[in-house]
Structure 1
Amino acid sequence: MERLSLEMIRIEIQKAGDDKQLRRIRDQLHEEFEGRLLLSNSIEWNRELNQVHDLLIGKAVGLAQVNVRRDGGGEPPLPFAFVLFGSGGRGEQTLWSDQDNGLIYANPDNSVVEEQARNYFQLLAEAVSELLMHLGYPPCTGGVICTNEKWRKPLNGYRSMLYEWMQDPHWEHIRYLLILADMRIVYGEKSLVTQLLEEFYDYVLKHPIMLEYMLHNTLHHKISLGLFGQLIKERYGEDAGGVDIKYGAYIPIVSGIRLLAAQAGVMASSTEERILGLMRVGFVEEEIAHDWLEALSIALKLRSLTPFQLEEGHYTTRGKLSADGLTKERISELKLCLRIGNDLQKYVKKSVHKEIEKG
């Protein structure tokens, strides 16, 4: 198959007139990117794949507005931003990621506009989510999705939620806070997102005790490496003998880097950009940063090699690398990734405690 350039992909997606055409494009690109994985630098591969996800999702938001208008819902009464959270927010979606998204709209200036906005953006959110499901993106099982009113609000509603979480930092609120820290716009008015993120970073810099609260959540998932350097494998079920790449390698690495970025005031969305930002501001030595990039590269590649399945038309995965997939070479790569991840978690813990001692 001829390798498609990003510009060719962009043109094909923009030409699509409905969800059926978009789904055919996504299925074709799924096969193409799956074939490219082992022949590419995994960070570059991931970056290009996520540009494609952004194009597909952005087009879905545009088509959803057309559908709402066609069904009598009118035009957006206020500027809005369609945002991604989780791996989408970090620009690290796999070929089979689900819907982790939200919608922020400008503050209404009167009760009439407020009612119009509430009704319109509910219709739009439902239309977007339905289109994305047709494209193979299953809804987030944790409810972090624009059809949930919690994640579809005016800017002031998001701000109130943000400060509630920061001023009452129990476990669940910190979990939400860390979700919001990965927020990234894929369609609409960027300033709505920038303002929220700036307030989050500013608050953390002025209240370093927040780092201690975030540390507990950040270290919740442990690296899948035993005391004597052995892989911690799944013991039961259909994944027995395999390794949980998502929660045993990838999530601990990206969570640790996210916390360091918040500590240093590096306002970037992807883990790669955060590492480069930490290095650029002198927060971390170049050699250590390159180790982190290597661990990220391995985690992204192995996560994308985990088996996937189509369930009711949705691309899904359990995030486990099967026992059959644990070749000698991959075990060696994975152990290197996990050793660096282990050191990273220690680095994060030490860095946060040092910051809190400073005051």
Structure 2
Amino acid sequence: MNHLSMERVLERIVQSEQFDEMRVTRDQVHEMFREHLLFSYKPELGSQINQVHDALIQRTIEIAEHLLEDEGYGKPPTPYAFILLGSGGRREQTLWSDQDNGLIYEESDQYDHEELDVYFEKLTSYILHGLDVLGYPPCEGNVISSNPQWRQSLSGYHDMMLRWLEEPTWENVRYLLILADFRCIYGSKDLVAKLKHAFFDYVQEHQHVLKHLLSNTLHHKISLGVFRNLITERYGEDAGGFDIKYGAYIPIVNGIRLLAIQEGIAATSTMERISQLKQLGKVSEQIAKDWETAFGIALQLRDMTPFQIENEKYTTRGKLRAVQLNKETRILLKRCLLTGMDLQKYVMKSIEHIEREKG
């Protein structure tokens, strides 16, 4: 997709007045991108895909605000930030990513908590309806702004985050790692910055929490056997295929994320995190290059996974079919996985080093 056509796509999205209108644009763009991914993959395609997702989500929020105003609810009573988490927060969405989002609002002397929650609950319902029309399925883990846990005031988020940090159970650590990837897609970036600063300040002052983050980080292992053989799916319609999402992509994302948290790097993109680790002198240029190459392979193969449309929603199981695992793909994949295994060992040693220094 060339630069001019991207401009036209983004212009169509910005000028859309209805959710149905944007769905037509998304379907057309989806097919255009899909052809490029299948026949002439280029790394910049991922950036363009995420640019389109951002534009669709931002316009959805604007339309939702207008709908509420038209119904007599007025403009937002206080500044707020609509945030993306997961792959959206990292700017690593595929064509068929689901909804992982939340909403943070500023407290106000003019409105009480109940009044603010009523407005933002209503706004969220309109936003999520729009995203539903556009074909984004809700997060299976309920990390979504319709869940009151992910729709709170800034102080509510801050208190919740502190509870997770002070009680690092498996579930709380999972939430912390989800939160570490959040970014503002629309609204007040200042609210997001304040919460991020609070998170990193706590970790720097209480580095023992990194040990708790480590076990969750290494939960998903690289899917490579002891004899360097691919660990493929054994049963069902994916038999013989490879789980690129949880066998390669997520382990690399998790490892780089924890290193970034350790160093107080606020960037959410995995590639940007690697770049900043290199700039800070925390990893050598060669190691950073190896990680970038491996992650690039994971992104490319993840974008090649088959998708389906179920109940008008774009979905994927994140797995390559057996027929896609030709010789060239296997060579690329093994290169990615071997580097991923080295990364997981590197992360473990890095956190253990902190523990030894404390001891």
The two structures share one fold, judged by TM-score above 0.5: yes
Letter in 1 for 2:122: L
Instruction: Give the aligned partner of residue 148 of structure 1.
Output: 147
Q: How many residues align?
A: 357
Instruction: Give the aligned partner of residue 93 of structure 2.
Output: 93
Letter in 1 for 2:244: I
**3-state secondary structure, aligned to 1:104:** strand
Instruction: Give the aligned partner of residue 265 of structure 1.
Output: 264
CA-based RMSD? 1.2
Tell me how far 1:8 sits from its aligned partner. 2.4
Tell me how far 1:3 sits from its aligned partner. 6.5
Letter in 2 for 1:242: G
Tell me how far 1:181 sits from its aligned partner. 0.2
Describe the superposition over 1:142-176 as per-residue Cα deviations: whole angstroms up to 9, x where unpaired.
Answer: 10001111000000000000100001111100000
Structure-2 separation of matches of 1:79 and 1:2:
36
Percent identity between matched residues is: 52
Letter in 2 for 1:109: D
Structure-2 separation of matches of 1:15 and 1:183:
27
Structure-1 separation of matches of 2:162 and 2:109:
22
**3-state secondary structure, aligned to 1:294:** helix
Does 2:296 align with 1:301? no
Structure-2 separation of matches of 1:34 and 1:264:
37
Letter in 1 for 2:13: I
Structure-2 separation of matches of 1:68 and 1:246:
38
Instruction: Give the aligned partner of residue 54 of structure 2.
Output: 54
Instruction: Give the aligned partner of residue 17 of structure 1.
Output: 17
| Conserved 8 A contact 2:297-2:332 | yes
**3-state secondary structure, aligned to 1:336:** helix
Instruction: Give the aligned partner of residue 77 of structure 2.
Output: 77
CA, structure 1 residues 204+92, in 2 after alignment: closer, same or farther (shift >3 Å)? same
Instruction: Give the aligned partner of residue 162 of structure 1.
Output: 161
Tell me how far 1:35 sits from its aligned partner. 1.8
Tell me how far 1:4 sits from its aligned partner. 4.5
Structure-2 separation of matches of 1:186 and 1:196:
15
Instruction: Give the aligned partner of residue 67 of structure 1.
Output: 67
Instruction: Give the aligned partner of residue 133 of structure 2.
Output: 134
**3-state secondary structure, aligned to 1:306:** coil
Does 2:108 align with 1:108? yes
Give the unaligned 5+ runs of structure 2: none
Structure-2 separation of matches of 1:237 and 1:71:
49
Structure-2 separation of matches of 1:22 and 1:104:
25
Structure-2 separation of matches of 1:208 and 1:321:
38
Tell me how far 1:21 sits from its aligned partner. 1.1
Describe the superposition over 1:207-262 as per-residue Cα deviations: whole angstroms up to 9, x where unpaired.
Answer: 11111000000000010100000000000000000000000000000000000001
| Conserved 8 A contact 2:41-2:300 | no
CA, structure 1 residues 310+231, in 2 after alignment: closer, same or farther (shift >3 Å)? same
Describe the superposition over 1:301-325 as per-residue Cα deviations: whole angstroms up to 9, x where unpaired.
Answer: 1111111000011000001101011
**3-state secondary structure, aligned to 1:187:** strand
Tell me how far 1:138 sits from its aligned partner. 0.4
Tell me how far 1:77 sits from its aligned partner. 0.6
Q: Which runs of 4+ in 1 moved over 3 A?
A: 1-6
Instruction: Give the aligned partner of residue 349 of structure 1.
Output: 348
| Conserved 8 A contact 1:77-1:113 | no
Describe the superposition over 1:25-78 as per-residue Cα deviations: whole angstroms up to 9, x where unpaired.
Answer: 111111111122252432x22122111111100000001111122223222110
Instruction: Map 1:25-40 to 2 at 5 A.
Output: 25-37=25-37, 38-40=39-41
Letter in 2 for 1:114: H
**3-state secondary structure, aligned to 1:267:** coil
Structure-2 separation of matches of 1:195 and 1:300:
31
Structure-2 separation of matches of 1:75 and 1:131:
18
Describe the superposition over 1:257-312 as per-residue Cα deviations: whole angstroms up to 9, x where unpaired.
Answer: 00000111111010000000000000000000011001111101111111100001
Instruction: Give the aligned partner of residue 232 of structure 1.
Output: 231
Q: Please report the TM-score for the alignment, with normalisation by the length of structure 2.
A: 0.97
Does 2:116 align with 1:117? yes
